[in-house]
Chain A
Amino acid sequence: AQSVTQPDIHITVSEGASLELRCNYSYGATPYLFWYVQSPGQGLQLLLKYFSGDTLVQGIKGFEAEFKRSQSSFNLRKPSVHWSDAAEYFCAVGASVDYKLSFGAGTTVTVRA
C-alpha cells in the first residue's frame, strides 16, 4: 500500500519569500503524485500532478513540484508567496491498481506581512 509523509506540520514564511514544502512517498511501483491546497472550511483544490515524463511539473498559482525517484520525494515550491497562499497543503499519492488516494498529514502555511 502507498503512504505519504509530510515532515513539516507548520511553516511560517514572509510575504514575498520563497516556499518549499516537503513530501516523501512510499510505493513500490510508479506513483501518481498530487498536491492539493485547502483554505479553511473549503474543499481541496488541485495544485499540480505528476504521472510521468518531465520530473519538474508546473501547477496553478505559480507553484511547481519536482519528482525525485531516488529520494522518493515530490517537494512543492513557490518562488514568492502571497498572503493568499496561507492555507493547508496536502501531498497525495495514488496507484493504478485501485481508487485509493493516500494523503499526507498536511502542512499548514502561515504568511506574515
Chain B
Amino acid sequence: DGGITQSPKYLFRKEGQNVTLSCEQNLNHDAMYWYRQDPGQGLRLIYYSQIVNDFQKGDIAEGYSVSREKKESFPLTVTSAQKNPTAFYLCASHPGKSKNIQYFGAGTRLSVL
C-alpha cells in the first residue's frame, strides 16, 4: 500500500535524552514536512524539505533537527534542548508539483517521563 508511515506510534523521552521519530513515504513525493500539534491547537510547522539533502526551518524549529538523506525518509530528532516536547507529531508529504496537497501520516505521540 502507498502511504506515509510514522513510527513509533507512542514514544517516551527521559529528561536530557534525544529521541528520533521516523517518517517514511513510498509515494515518490519530493517534499516532506514535520508538524507539532498541541491539544486544542492547529498544526505548527517544525521543518520541511522540498528535495533530498535540503531542508528549511519552519516556525518552531528550536530544539529539533532533521535530515533528508533519502527521498523516502525524513526523520525528526527531538533534542534535549526542546524543553516542552510533549505533543502529537505529524509528518506529511506532497508531490512537489502544482495543486499540492499534503498527505499525513498517523502521527507519533511523544511524552516525557
Q: A and B bound?
A: no
Interface residues in chain A, defined as those with a beta carbon under 8 Å from any beta carbon in chain B: none
